[in-house]
C-alpha cells in the first residue's frame, strides 16, 4: 500500500454532553484513518474543510470556562463561546506563535486553569508528534491521524485529562496508549516518571526513537497489551488511558494506589463514550466522576489487528 488507504475512514464532528453534576460541555474531534505514510492532497483538503465547517457551526465550539474553575462551571452559569484558534495551515516559521495562540484560545480559553498545565502545554512542540506532512496543521485544536487507525488527541482534551489526573512532581504515572507520544511528553514536563504502553509495534518503535531524540529520559516505553497494565512498577499515582475500552480494565484498577486517580474514556465502538475520573478510595472502593461525552479510537487488544499492524 502506498500513501493512505484507498478508502480512508473519517469520523469527525463534535460530541457534546451536559454534565449532571459539573455543568461542563466537552467537545471532541476525531479523525481515523488506516495506514500511515504520506497524506494525499485530498485528505488534507478534507481535513481543512471538516475543520472549517466545525468552526462555523454553533454546536462545534467548546464552551469557554471561567479561569477560576478547574474545567467545570455551575450548571446555572452563563458562559461565552471562545473562537477556535488558527484558521489556516501554519508555516513552519510561525510554530511558536501558533502554539501561543493555541494555549491562549484553546487551552486557557476553554477553561484549563492549572498554571502548571498551561505552562507545559505551551512548552511541548506538538508538530514534533505528528506526521511530517501534517506538521502545518499541528496547532489546530483538533485530533490528527498518525497512522494505523490512531490519532493524536485534541490539545484541549490532553490538557483536560492531564489536569484531572492532578499529578505532582515525582509521581509514577501509567499511560495506556502511547500513540505518537504527545500525552506522555506533557506528563514528563510536569516532572513525573511516565510508564507508557503501546500495542501497535511500529508506533511503539517510532515513539521510542522520538523520545530519545527529544530528550525525554523519564519516559519508559513498552510494546504490549495495555489492558493488563504494567504490574512490575505498580502501584501508580495516576493512570491515563487514551483509547476507549467498553469497560474499565480490572487490572488497571488494581494497579492504582489508594488515593490515586485514573482518567479513562469508556464506551462501545461507534456508540456513546464517556470520560471518567476514577479515584481509589480504599482497597475495594472507587469514586467515579463523569467529565462528559467524548469520541476516542477503540481500545485495541492483541489479536484484534492484523499482523502487519501489531508485532
Per-run averaged pLDDT (10 residues), the chain, 311 residues? 29 31 33 39 50 36 27 27 47 84 97 98 97 95 96 97 97 98 98 97 97 95 97 98 97 98 94 96 97 94 54 34
Residue listed under C-alpha cell 481515523: 32
CB 99 within 8 A of CB 125: yes
CB atoms within 10 A of CB 308: 11
d(CA 19, CA 24): 6
**The total number of structural domains that make up the chain:** 1
Q: Is there a domain that residue 2 lies in? A: no
Q: Give a yes or no: residue 193 inside a domain.
A: yes
Place of cell 475500552: 245
Interatomic CA distance for residues 296 and 71, integer angstroms? 19
Quote the pLDDT of residue 94: 86
115 vs 134: CA distance, rounded Å? 29
- Whether residue 308 lies inside any domain: the answer is no
Q: Does any domain span residue 305?
A: no
Q: Does residue 19 belong to any structural domain of this protein? A: no
Q: Is the pTM of this model over 0.75?
A: no
- Measured CA to CA, the distance from residue 28 to residue 30 in angstroms comes to 7
pLDDT at 270 (0 to 100):
81
pLDDT of residue 44: 54
Residue 166, domain CATH = 3.40.50.150
> Which pLDDT does position 271 carry in this prediction?
87
Question: How far is residue 155's CA from residue 77's CA, in Å, rounded to a whole number?
Answer: 25
50 is catalytic: no
Helices 201-214 and 182-189 pack at an angle, to 10 degrees, of 40
Question: What's the alpha-carbon Rg for the chain, to the nearest Å?
Answer: 18
| pLDDT recorded at residue 303 | 72
Of the candidates 27, 64, 153, 208, the residue annotated as catalytic is 153
Give the pLDDT confidence score for residue 208 in this predicted structure: 96
DSSP 170: T
Annotate 31-65 with b (16+ C-beta within 10 A) or e (fewer).
bbbbbbeebeeebeeebeebbeebbeeeebbbbbb
Contact by Cβ (8 Å): 139, 126: yes
Q: Tell me, what's the pLDDT at 25?
A: 32
pLDDT in the model for residue 195:
98
**How confident is the model at residue 157, as a pLDDT?**
97
Burial class (CB in 10 A: 0-12, 13-18, 19+), 237: buried
pLDDT of residue 90: 62
Residue 17 has phi, psi (to 5 degrees) of -130, 130
Q: Exposed, middle or buried: residue 76 (CB in 10 Å: 0-12, 13-18, 19+)?
A: exposed
Q: Is residue 9 domain-resident?
A: no
Which structural domain range is residue 290 located in? Answer: 41-294
Residue 18 forms part of a structural domain: no
pLDDT value of position 88 = 57
Residue 12 lies in a domain: no
Burial grade of 80 (CB within 10 A; 0-12, 13-18, 19 or more): exposed
Cell numbers given for 158? 490532553
Amino acid at each position: 500500500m502506498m500513501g493512505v488507504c484507498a478508502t480512508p475512514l473519517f469520523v469527525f464532528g463534535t460530541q457534546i454532553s451536559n454534565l449532571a453534576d459539573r455543568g461542563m460541555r466537552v467537545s471532541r474531534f476525531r479523525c481515523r484513518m488506516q495506514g500511515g505514510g504520506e497524506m494525499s492532497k485530498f485528505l488534507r483538503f478534507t481535513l481543512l474543510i471538516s475543520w472549517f465547517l466545525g468552526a462555523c457551526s454553533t454546536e462545534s465550539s467548546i464552551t469557554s470556562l471561567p479561569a477560576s474553575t478547574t474545567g467545570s462551571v455551575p450548571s446555572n452559569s452563563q458562559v461565552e463561546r471562545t473562537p477556535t484558534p488558527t484558521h489556516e495551515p501554519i508555516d513552519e516559521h510561525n510554530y511558536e506563535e501558533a502554539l501561543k495562540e493555541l494555549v491562549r484560545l484553546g487551552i486557557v480559553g476553554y477553561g484549563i486553569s492549572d498554571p502548571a498545565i498551561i505552562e507545559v502545554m505551551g512548552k511541548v512542540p506538538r508538530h514534533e508528534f505528528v506526521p511530517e506532512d501534517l506538521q502545518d496543521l499541528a496547532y489546530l485544536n483538533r485530533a490528527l491521524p498518525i497512522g494505523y487507525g490512531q490519532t493524536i488527541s485534541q490539545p484541549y482534551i490532553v490538557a483536560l485529562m492531564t489536569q484531572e489526573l492532578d499529578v505532582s512532581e515525582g509521581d509514577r504515572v501509567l499511560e495506556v496508549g502511547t500513540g505518537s507520544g504527545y500525552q506522555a511528553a506533557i506528563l514528563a514536563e510536569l516532572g513525573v516518571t511516565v510508564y507508557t504502553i503501546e500495542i501497535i509495534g511500529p508506533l511503539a518503535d517510532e515513539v521510542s526513537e522520538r523520545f530519545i531524540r527529544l530528550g525525554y529520559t523519564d519516559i519508559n516505553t513498552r510494546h504490549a497489551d495495555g489492558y493488563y497494565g504494567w504490574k512490575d512498577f505498580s502501584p501508580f499515582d495516576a493512570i491515563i488511558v487514551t483509547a476507549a475500552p467498553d469497560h474499565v480494565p480490572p487490572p488497571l484498577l488494581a494497579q492504582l494506589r489508594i488515593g490515586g486517580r485514573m482518567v479513562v474514556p469508556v464506551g462501545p465502538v461507534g456508540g456513546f463514550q464517556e470520560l471518567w475520573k476514577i479515584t481509589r478510595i480504599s482497597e475495594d472502593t472507587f469514586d467515579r466522576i463523569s467529565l462528559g461525552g467524548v469520541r476516542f479510537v477503540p481500545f485495541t487488544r492483541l489479536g484484534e489487528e492484523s499482523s502487519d499492524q501489531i508485532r
